[in-house]
Structure 1
Amino acid sequence: MRTDRDTWTVAMVVPLRGPAGLFGPSCEAITGLAAHELNESGGVLGREVRYEIVDGGAPPAEVARRVGALVATGAVDAVSGWHISSVRNALAPVVAGRVPYAYTSLYEGGERRPGIFCTGETPRLQVAPALRWLRDHLGVRRWFVAGDDYVWPRLSTVAVRGFVRELGLRVEAEAFVGLGAGDMARLVRRVEASACDAVLMLLVGDDAVRFNREFARRGLHERVLRYSPLMEENMLLASGAAATRNLFVSAAYFRSLAGADALDLVGRYTGLHGSTAPALNNAAESCYEGLHTLAHLMRRAGSAELPALNAALDGAAYHGPRGTVEFRGGLARQPVHLAVADGYDFDVVTRL
């Protein structure tokens, strides 16, 4: 059992393999920045911030065993990081009531378990307003939902069906493929055969990259719009500029945001890691948010103990690269922006 109370150590669960593995280097690099900044300001409650990277791209049960062992031995005081919802659902029973858990990824919503602090975007605040904007400004009404076959795409699609009814839209078809093993050629042919105006992509990392390439190979990028709530700079680079035409994305953070706080983050990130650092992106920036959320809650509560953090959550707010993030009813509320892919970067169109 670790007895050093001069340090505060977080297990950062980020993908180092699998479809989301291309996010991993960026997530690791920005975690280093967040820890550095917190320590430069005196740590958290006088304790030095440290972190241990855990591969969140491993099978969920394997991730849960690894984190469970760290928690059981007292090697970590908290858990955070970007990882898919299947991993979160495996981790939750392991950490529940033992250490705080800041889950940073966008997700399907509905997480209410005490001690799990979700800082990412949810469909009601991220997807619904994007569908409305695309309807009002580009006339997009008929959608094809293409997703990986696990909890986030499945439950997000349930929410999308409700948004479609509210907005007077139509889902022409839905199709789900195995995570990391989907036949993208077959999926794109199904899109081509449909009567859709646009595709809602609920695909992770390399799966979305392979979809984009096949989509462009068949020439659909010229006439069918794509919209994704999970698309970042590494995925644009891997897809290729020709494969991202007519691709819209909504997120709380883009590297190209023009606000002072967002620009400052880019400067601090490159200042610490250099100009060849892994691409700064939404998934990575969420890890920065996770550490700062935990630090803010500890300062607000005056304690690192889980019951005190739970009590401090509602009404907590802080300002960062995303703007103001506020927790109401246990949910993080934050500005969300709509952008369109422009080569290997994003052109932010509007705040939703």
Structure 2
Amino acid sequence: ELNGILFYPVQYEGEESSKNVFYTGAAPNQQAIPAVDYLMNDLGVKRWVLAGTDYVYPRTTNKILEAYLKSKKVAKKDIMINYTPFGHSDWQSIVADIKKFGSAGKKTAVVSTINGDANVPFYKELGNQGISAENIPVIAFSVGEEELSGIDTKPLVGHLAAWNYFMSVDTTKNAAFIKQWKDYIKNPKRVTNDPMEAHYIGFNMWVKAVEKAGSTDPAAVQKAIIGVEYPNLTGGMSRMLPNHHISKPVLIGEIQDDGQFVTVWQTNKLVDGDAWSDYLPESKPIIADWTPPINCGNYNTKTKKCSGQNY
């Protein structure tokens, strides 16, 4: 209403681009798709459990992932999809179903968009039923250092997470950032995590855009910030793209018993965030570009029209 700006530093499901929002967290092509590629190409996964909490992010992400898996010739019978409410605690029957699904002689993995407190009993039940990271690995999109702090990590050790940053990444910039955070919070046990890095990048991009525009006026900043670059904490220069997403590296980490991650795979270059998924037929022709002459968050490249409300 007042033309303010929102920097959104958490991974999200895509399928939008607002003039007033800058998406510094991962789009599906910067987290979910590379995670599936890793499982498929490096671990040889053939059967897929898409398990999520029942709300918009998991449902939309899994819709994209299901379409992506089918484009890779994965049969419908090799994809199991399950949703549970927030805070779900009784995982016995669901984990039993996962175990049965994974016993068909094909390498099986769980792609998890399970959010919040439900993760603790979920991983615990996996352990109770003898499911390990070796036989059915879980790769999570919502389990990071903050979620692991203060809980018993034993059931999670060896399982995976896909993010654009890990606290354990060994760079000079990251070491300085961690020290600054711990000095500020006055608690050496506190951790950093992916959304913190995303917001660190976004805030510094805003500063550079304000300096470039000579003003904090939102309209001036929105215009000035396109193309602005700022170093991320894992290496490389993140750039604000015309679709209001940024470029980021993608990392796969293995959970350790101290609640940290060891990076087991990463992209060899930064990945540009894509607002509209190429794997959904209705989204494939849509792009977001907030620069002239398009200046639209949902421009249809076939009809050459802005296909929704232009805000």
Which bin holds the TM-score, normalised by the shorter protein? 0.7 to 0.9
Q: 1:292 to 1:187 in 2, by over 3 A?
A: farther
Q: 1:113 to 1:100 in 2, by over 3 A?
A: same
- With the length of structure 2 as denominator, give the TM-score of the two structures: 0.76
Structure 2 match to 1:174: 81
Amino acid at match of 2:221: L
Q: Following TM superposition, by how much is the alpha carbon of 1:227 offset from its aligned partner in structure 2, in angstroms?
A: 0.6
Structure 1 match to 2:305: none
Structure 2 match to 1:351: 266
Written as runs of structure 1 = structure 2, the 5 A alignment for 1:110-121 is: 110-121=15-26
Amino acid at match of 1:333: S
Do structure 1's residue 136 and structure 2's residue 36 form an aligned pair? no
Provide Cα deviations, 1:13-35, integer angstroms capped at 9, x if missing partner: xxxxxxxxxxxxxxxxxxxxxxx
Q: 1:197 to 1:103 in 2, by over 3 A?
A: same
Written as runs of structure 1 = structure 2, the 5 A alignment for 1:1-352 is: 96-169=1-74, 171-181=78-88, 183-195=90-102, 197-221=108-132, 222-323=134-235, 324-328=237-241, 329-343=243-257, 344-352=259-267
Partner SS, residue 31 of structure 2: helix
Provide Cα deviations, 1:243-294, integer angstroms capped at 9, x if missing partner: 1133111111100011221122112222333343522222333343343333
Q: Following TM superposition, by how much is the alpha carbon of 1:182 offset from its aligned partner in structure 2, in angstroms?
A: 5.5
Provide Cα deviations, 1:59-111, integer angstroms capped at 9, x if missing partner: xxxxxxxxxxxxxxxxxxxxxxxxxxxxxxxxxxxxx5431111110111123
Q: 1:109 to 1:322 in 2, by over 3 A?
A: farther
Distance in 2 between residues matched to 1:288 and 1:315, nearest whole Å: 17
Provide Cα deviations, 1:167-191, integer angstroms capped at 9, x if missing partner: 3445521011112245433332221
Partner SS, residue 220 of structure 1: coil
Q: 1:174 to 1:320 in 2, by over 3 A?
A: same
Q: 1:182 to 1:289 in 2, by over 3 A?
A: farther
2:53–2:85 Cα contact (<8 Å) kept: yes
Amino acid at match of 2:137: L
1:102–1:290 Cα contact (<8 Å) kept: yes
Partner SS, residue 162 of structure 2: strand
Q: 1:227 to 1:252 in 2, by over 3 A?
A: same
Partner SS, residue 339 of structure 1: strand
2:89–2:122 Cα contact (<8 Å) kept: no
Distance in 1 between residues matched to 2:147 and 2:48, nearest whole Å: 22
Q: 1:238 to 1:187 in 2, by over 3 A?
A: farther
Structure 1 match to 2:287: none
CA RMSD in angstroms comes to 2.1
Amino acid at match of 1:309: V
Amino acid at match of 1:326: R
Q: Following TM superposition, by how much is the alpha carbon of 1:152 offset from its aligned partner in structure 2, in angstroms?
A: 0.6
1:253–1:282 Cα contact (<8 Å) kept: yes
Distance in 1 between residues matched to 2:190 and 2:264, nearest whole Å: 25
Provide Cα deviations, 1:29-61, integer angstroms capped at 9, x if missing partner: xxxxxxxxxxxxxxxxxxxxxxxxxxxxxxxxx
Q: Following TM superposition, by how much is the alpha carbon of 1:136 offset from its aligned partner in structure 2, in angstroms?
A: 1.7
Distance in 1 between residues matched to 2:251 and 2:230, nearest whole Å: 19
Partner SS, residue 138 of structure 1: coil
2:9–2:198 Cα contact (<8 Å) kept: yes
Unaligned runs of 5+ in 2: 268-311
- With the length of structure 1 as denominator, give the TM-score of the two structures: 0.67
Q: Give the number of aligned pairs.
A: 257
Q: 1:320 to 1:172 in 2, by over 3 A?
A: closer
Q: 1:292 to 1:246 in 2, by over 3 A?
A: same
Percent identity, please. 23
Higher RCO (Cα < 8 Å, 6 or more apart): 2
Q: Following TM superposition, by how much is the alpha carbon of 1:166 offset from its aligned partner in structure 2, in angstroms?
A: 3.5
Distance in 2 between residues matched to 1:275 and 1:345, nearest whole Å: 17
Q: Following TM superposition, by how much is the alpha carbon of 1:197 offset from its aligned partner in structure 2, in angstroms?
A: 0.5
Amino acid at match of 1:334: K
Unaligned runs of 5+ in 1: 1-95
Q: 1:296 to 1:173 in 2, by over 3 A?
A: same
Partner SS, residue 331 of structure 1: coil
1:229–1:249 Cα contact (<8 Å) kept: yes
